[in-house]
């Protein structure tokens, strides 16, 4: 059920007005799917009635790798199956997205951001996402509301 970002016209992506859309970081997937995670109950509650969701293809790759290394190929495959059943928009990662993410990395060069983190910040800005589901506080650098506060 995961959908790719829609494109119209000259390769421009349709950008919604600010909405309840939530950006999902790798840590949100991990917290929900790993019952030993200290934020599991928080994300279980959030996933029970989610708003429109969006994430990066890099987050999916990062999550798959995490479950593969932490557990095994079966849990990694289960993670991908979970993502495919979600009503979520997957933002592709191409050369244009890489350029935007590199600008974010330069802008926040004092932070230890991964490329996936930087791409997430780009997506939230471009799509005007109003919240970020993450346990990673630096994803709030641009002022978006984080699901985990405090």
Distance CA 19, CA 142 (A): 16
Three-state secondary structure of 55-96 = EEHHHHHHHHHHHHHHCCHHHHHHHHHHHHHCCEEEECCCHH
How far apart (Å, rounded) are the C-alpha atoms in residues 23 and 34? 19
Would you say the C-alpha torsion 65, 98, 52, 129 has a positive or negative sign? positive
The total number of structural domains in the chain stands at: 1
Q: The pTM is what?
A: 0.86
Look up the domain containing 122 and give its range. Answer: 18-146
Span 84-119, pLDDT tens digits: 999 999 999 999 999 999 999 999 999 999 999 999
Distance, in Å, from the CA atom of 127 to the CA atom of 150, rounded to the nearest integer, reads 25
In this prediction, residues 57-65 reach a mean pLDDT of 98
User: What CATH number has the domain bearing residue 41?
Assistant: 3.40.50.1010
Q: Considering the domain boundaries, does residue 6 fall inside one?
A: no
């Amino acid at each position: 059920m995961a959908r790719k970002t829609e494109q119209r016209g000259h390769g421009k992506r349709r950008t919604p007005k600010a909405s309840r859309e939530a950006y999902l970081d790798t840590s949100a997937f991990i917290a929900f799917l790993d019952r030993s995670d200290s934020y599991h109950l928080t994300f279980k509650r959030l996933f029970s009635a989610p708003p429109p969701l969006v994430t990066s293809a890099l987050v999916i790759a990062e999550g798959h790798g995490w479950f593969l290394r932490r557990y095994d190929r079966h849990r990694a495959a289960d993670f991908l199956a979970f993502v495919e059943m979600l009503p979520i928009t997957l933002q592709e990662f191409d050369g244009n997205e890489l350029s935007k993410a590199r600008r974010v990395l330069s802008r926040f060069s004092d932070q230890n951001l991964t490329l996936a983190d930087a791409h997430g910040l780009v997506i939230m800005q471009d799509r005007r996402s109003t919240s970020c589901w993450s346990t990673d506080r630096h994803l709030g650098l641009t002022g978006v509301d984080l699901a985990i506060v405090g």
